């Protein structure tokens, strides 16, 4: 069935419930590299890149001091941050490593390279870069041939 949404439709922004607003801001600002565009006292903040009003909302309206949901429950799997090139991905990975944040995994998907981790509230975070479409792996019939191969993190970090 074809998409019912117009082709120009985009997913706009994500709002996350967090336990500690300042801790979450520090992660998304200092590690991921977003800038705070608006803060609503001690309960909410909005962050973005490139001057947009917000790509990410953080709030403690229902979650101040709360613990993450237990594994095996429904909810957000991860928020994905698309970086413009391999060097930018390497630079954010270097900040993650410098902050002592553990990785959940890393993969070369053929079409992209991705690093997976958790924010301070246990929310999944994907940091990735797309390869140019002309470099995407394709099968003999022209269909995408994505993979889940290991990503060489040392080689990536060398580009930071």
Classify residue 112 by its DSSP letter: E
3-state class of 48 per DSSP? strand
**pTM for the whole thing?**
0.92
pLDDT digits (tens, 9 = 90+) for 40-92: 999 999 999 998 999 999 999 999 999 998 888 888 899 999 999 999 999 99
Token code pair at residue 58: 């953080």
How many other β-carbons are positioned within 10 Å of the β-carbon of residue 159? 14
Dist CA 89 CA 128 (whole Å): 6
- Residue 11: pLDDT band with limits 50, 70, 90: confident
- Residue 3: pLDDT band with limits 50, 70, 90: confident
Average pLDDT over residues 9-31: 95
In sequence order, the 6+-apart residues with CB closer than 8 A to the CB of 122 are 68, 69
Q: Is the pLDDT of residue 1 over 80?
A: no
Helix H or strand E encompassing 82: strand 79-83
Dist CA 43 CA 80 (whole Å): 24
Dist CA 149 CA 101 (whole Å): 22
Average pLDDT over residues 5-33: 94
Domains belonging to the chain, first-starting first, are 12-63 (3.10.180.10), 77-160 (3.10.180.10)
Token code pair at residue 148: 């889940």
């Amino acid at each position: 069935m074809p998409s019912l949404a117009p082709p120009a439709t985009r997913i706009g922004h994500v709002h996350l419930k967090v336990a500690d607003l300042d801790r979450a801001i520090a992660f998304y600002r200092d590690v991921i590299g977003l800038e705070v565009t608006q803060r609503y006292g001690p309960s909410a903040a909005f962050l973005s890149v490139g001057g947009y009003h917000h790509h990410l909302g953080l709030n403690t309206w229902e979650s101040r001091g709360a613990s993450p949901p237990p594994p095996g429950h429904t909810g957000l799997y991860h928020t994905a941050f698309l970086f413009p090139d391999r060097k930018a991905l390497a630079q954010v990975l270097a900040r993650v490593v410098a902050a002592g944040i553990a990785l959940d995994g890393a993969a070369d998907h053929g079409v992209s390279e991705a690093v997976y981790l958790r924010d301070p509230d246990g929310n999944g975070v994907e940091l990735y870069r797309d390869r140019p479409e002309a470099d995407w792996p394709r099968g003999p019939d022209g269909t995408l041939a994505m993979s889940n191969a290991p990503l060489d993190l040392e080689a990536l970090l060398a580009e930071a």
